[in-house]
């Protein structure tokens, strides 16, 4: 028997144009406020989803995934937004493997995305 180890090395998908747009529209202080609040909310939502994903109702998880997608899109986290919508889609089917895989991917991309935003903000200051 051969065991293959899959390495997840996926880019978080950050849209710097969206972040720049926020800075132009809201000014530095306003953009920082929006981005920081969104990041805090995303971190909280992702942690909550991670904790309850096995026992939570499908509709609650779908609402949470849609919320993650909307927040992520608002601040330019295109990869996380797309994966959260994939989670929402997979929750429509009674497929525990798809559910677990997409949820794990959303958590993983979410962590990378939050780090990418901090790194981007450090570079742009």
* Structure tokens given for 6: 């899959």
CA separation for the pair 37, 79 (Å, rounded): 19
Q: Read off the pLDDT of residues 78-100 as tens digits, 9 standing for 90 and up.
A: 999 999 999 999 999 988 899 89
Report residue 14: phi and psi, to 5°: -110, 130
* Structure tokens given for 21: 């747009």
DSSP SS3 for 91: coil
Residue 77, beta-bridge partner list: 14
Q: How confident is the model at residue 27 (pLDDT cuts 50, 70, 90)?
A: very high
pTM of this structure: 0.85
Residue 14, beta-bridge partner list: 77
Q: Read off the pLDDT of residues 98-123 as tens digits, 9 standing for 90 and up.
A: 989 999 999 999 999 988 887 766 55
pLDDT computed for residue 123 by the predictor: 52
CA separation for the pair 73, 15 (Å, rounded): 9
The mean pLDDT value for 9-27 works out to 87
């Amino acid at each position: 028997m051969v065991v293959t180890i899959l390495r997840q090395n996926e880019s978080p998908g950050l849209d710097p144009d969206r972040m720049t747009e926020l800075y132009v529209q809201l000014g530095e202080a306003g953009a920082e406020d929006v981005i920081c609040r969104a990041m805090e909310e995303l971190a909280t939502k992702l942690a909550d989803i991670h904790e309850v994903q096995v026992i939570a109702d499908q509709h609650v998880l779908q609402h949470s995934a849609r919320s993650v997608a909307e927040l992520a899109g608002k601040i330019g986290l295109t990869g996380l937004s797309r994966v959260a919508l994939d989670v929402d889609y997979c929750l429509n089917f009674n497929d525990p493997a798809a559910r677990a895989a997409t949820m794990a991917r959303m958590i993983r991309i979410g962590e990378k995305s939050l780090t990418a935003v901090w790194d981007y903000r450090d570079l742009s200051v």
